[in-house]
């Protein structure tokens, strides 16, 4: 498949016997009634996964899927149909189904020329992919993770580890006569540890990955770090006291705590919610929405990151979008349709889970830029508060920004020092309001290790998050003691 890695558009044209005239025919069918735009999304996906539990690899899976989705956009309406049988006849039928949203009159389309290729980034051209590594070698690594995690502490009673990898080839053909294509590798190694002491049972989870090669996990023995970190979290929580409750100063650690930024603020900055006027940020471009210490970026162009893409799922090259600059709202994340309706430019944030789904504006890698304080200065500034190092689940209401997040690892801050670990802490607040309460931002910006998956309207896509250490004054903490 070496040639297809260089020119993935040739992969589809050869695999399905498509010609320029066939593509013209299908797009013409899609636009026989009044519409603004149509496109075809081809996808071929090869995925494998292994999982270990009870010290043995007890699950393996392999899947190969392919299909095509046909989309027709007319004003603010979208018609979408798909098929896992990629032939001219089935694609014409899908195009007829998708165009059913449109009105009477026709519209001409630009001729499709295979040579009209959209220039893409070069963010993850790999010499090999984890799919090329034998199952035996991957299984052996999971067994070594099990051994390392159990050796961390005798209170570790259960270890679960998994490795998932895929290679996806995509091609988008538009009614504007453009073709964009890409080969997208992705892998993730995850470790979950359960520790027990008497009736006390706690969980620790860690992992990482991205659009990387197998040796990424072996260099510096990252896999060993994952095993020990998951075990450490579980053991820390065994010794944790019940978290206090009430309003207090909260310090968020760097890296994965950026998930709070992603959920509480990021979704509210996606174009569809703002076009419809249902986001807490709707109509507020140019206004102050956060502390002047806050600059928030979405960047799909970071090399090898889990949330990065050479092109988005509409064929638009990804970019670096400034969402909030020194507290001022500067932009939204846009796909093609919402950008057109809002008279803005697409930002390369049109994403979909698979060919069976229509694209929508989604985040890529979303993070806050570093500030000028040191992490030590931030901690030292707090007399009494909570230091949240990692988060588990959470939820947010896009319309008003209200959120609830559970901290999976947290500590008390007493007299400017991190002291006792606590469990059961939840952060309760309002996303836009929380940004106005940021009073210190450290210089230690860190991106997450490559574990994020974002859900929206039933679709899941890989994403990245990031954060420096920040101080937030006056967050409500829901705990287990007053």
Helix (H, G, I), strand (E, B) or coil at 2: helix
Six-digit token pair at 176?
């504007």
Q: What are the φ/ψ torsions at residue 294 (nearest 5 degrees)? A: -100, 120
Query: Considering its fold, how many domains does the chain have in total?
Result: 2
> 308 and 170: one domain?
no
SS3 sequence of 256-317 = CCHHHHHHHHHHHHEHHHHHCCCCCCCCCCCCECCCCCCCEEEECCCCCCCCCCCECCCCCE
pLDDT at 113: 63
Q: Which domain holds residue 205?
A: 2-238
End-of-domain residue from the set 238, 257, 290: 238
**What is the rounded CA–CA span in Å between residue 326 and residue 293?**
6
> 314 and 218: one domain?
no
Six-digit token pair at 12?
């589809």
SS3 sequence of 122-180 = CCCCCCCCHHHCCHHHHHHHHHHHHHHHHHHCCCEEEEEEEEEEEEEEEEEEECCCCEE
> 139 and 214: one domain?
yes
CATH of the domain at 162: 3.30.2290.10
Yes or no: say if 413 and 382 are a contact pair by the CB < 8 Å rule.
Answer: yes
> 192 and 334: one domain?
no
Yes or no: say if 168 and 135 are a contact pair by the CB < 8 Å rule.
Answer: no
Cα 146 to the chain's mean position, in Å?
Answer: 27
**What is the rounded CA–CA span in Å between residue 101 and residue 79?**
6
Yes or no: say if 426 and 282 are a contact pair by the CB < 8 Å rule.
Answer: no
> 225 and 269: one domain?
no
Walk along the chain (482 residues) and give the pLDDT tens digit of each residue. 444 444 787 888 788 888 888 888 898 888 877 788 899 999 999 999 999 999 999 999 999 999 999 999 988 889 999 999 999 999 999 998 888 865 545 555 666 665 588 999 999 989 999 999 999 999 999 999 999 999 999 999 999 999 999 999 999 999 998 999 999 999 999 999 999 999 999 999 999 999 999 999 999 999 999 999 999 999 999 999 999 999 999 999 999 999 999 988 999 999 999 999 999 899 999 999 999 999 999 999 999 999 999 999 999 999 999 999 999 999 999 999 999 999 999 999 999 999 999 999 999 999 999 999 999 999 999 999 999 999 987 778 877 888 999 999 999 999 999 999 999 999 999 988 999 999 999 999 999 999 999 999 999 999 999 999 999 999 999 876 55
> 267 and 218: one domain?
no
Tell the burial category of 286 from Cβ atoms under 10 Å away from its Cβ (0-12, 13-18, 19+).
Answer: exposed
End-of-domain residue from the set 238, 258, 289: 238
> 221 and 290: one domain?
no
> 58 and 201: one domain?
yes
Q: What is the DSSP string of 191-202?
A: EEEEEEETTEEE
> 104 and 253: one domain?
no
> 372 and 399: one domain?
yes
> 191 and 65: one domain?
yes
Helix (H, G, I), strand (E, B) or coil at 22: helix
Helix axes 135-152, 222-238, angle to 10 degrees: 40
Helix (H, G, I), strand (E, B) or coil at 91: helix
> 180 and 306: one domain?
no
pLDDT at 479: 76
C-alpha angle with apex 278: 275 to 281, nearest 5 degrees? 80
Yes or no: say if 470 and 440 are a contact pair by the CB < 8 Å rule.
Answer: yes
Question: Which one, of 391, 19, 12, 48, lies nearest residue 186 by Cα?
Answer: 48
End-of-domain residue from the set 219, 238, 257: 238
Helix (H, G, I), strand (E, B) or coil at 226: helix
pLDDT at 110: 63
pLDDT at 4: 44
């Amino acid at each position: 498949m070496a040639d297809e890695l260089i020119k993935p558009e040739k992969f589809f044209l050869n695999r399905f016997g498509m010609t320029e005239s066939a593509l013209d025919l299908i797009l013409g069918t899609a636009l026989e009634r009044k519409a603004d735009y149509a496109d075809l999304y081809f996808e071929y996906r090869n995925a494998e996964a292994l999982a270990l539990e009870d010290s043995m690899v007890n699950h393996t899976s392999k899947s190969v899927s392919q299909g095509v989705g046909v989309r027709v956009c007319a004003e603010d309406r979208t018609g979408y149909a798909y098929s896992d049988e990629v032939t001219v006849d089935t694609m014409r039928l899908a195009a007829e189904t998708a165009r059913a949203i449109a009105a009477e009159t026709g519209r001409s389309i630009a001729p499709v020329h295979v040579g009209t290729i959209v220039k893409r980034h070069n963010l993850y051209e790999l010499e090999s992919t984890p799919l090329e590594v034998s199952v035996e070698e991957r299984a052996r690594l999971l067994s070594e993770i099990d051994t390392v995690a159990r050796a961390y502490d005798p209170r570790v009673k259960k270890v679960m580890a998994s490795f998932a990898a895929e290679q996806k080839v995509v091609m988008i053909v538009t009614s504007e006569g453009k073709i964009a294509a890409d080969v997208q590798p992705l892998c993730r190694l995850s470790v979950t540890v359960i520790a027990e002491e008497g009736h006390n049972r706690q969980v620790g989870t860690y992992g990482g990955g991205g659009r990387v090669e197998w040796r990424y996990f072996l260099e510096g023995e990252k896999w060993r770090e994952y095993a020990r970190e998951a075990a450490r979290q579980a053991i820390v929580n065994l010794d944790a006291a019940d978290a206090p409750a009430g309003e207090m100063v909260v310090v968020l650690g760097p890296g994965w705590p950026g998930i709070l930024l992603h959920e509480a603020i990021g979704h509210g900055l996606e174009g569809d919610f703002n076009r419809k006027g249902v986001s807490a940020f709707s109509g507020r471009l140019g206004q102050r929405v956060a502390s002047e210490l806050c600059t928030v970026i979405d960047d799909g162009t970071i090399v090898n990151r889990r949330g990065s893409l050479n092109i988005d799922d509409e064929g638009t090259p990804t970019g670096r979008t400034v969402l909030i600059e020194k507290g001022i709202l500067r932009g939204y994340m846009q796909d093609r349709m919402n950008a057109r309706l809002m008279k803005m430019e697409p930002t390369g944030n049109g994403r979909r889970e698979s060919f069976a789904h229509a694209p929508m504006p989604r985040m890529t890698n979303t993070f806050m830029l570093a500030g000028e304080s040191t992490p030590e200065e931030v901690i030292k500034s707090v007399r009494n508060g909570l230091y949240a190092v990692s988060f588990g689940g959470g939820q947010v209401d896009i319309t008003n920004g209200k959120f609830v997040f559970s901290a999976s690892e947290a500590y008390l801050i007493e007299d400017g020092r991190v002291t006792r670990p606590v469990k059961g802490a939840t952060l309760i607040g309002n996303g836009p309001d929380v940004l106005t309460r940021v009073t210190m931002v450290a210089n230690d910006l860190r991106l997450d290790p490559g574990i994020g998956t974002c859900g929206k309207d039933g679709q899941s896509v890989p994403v990245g998050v990031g954060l420096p250490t920040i101080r937030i004054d006056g967050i409500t903490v829901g705990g287990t003691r007053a």
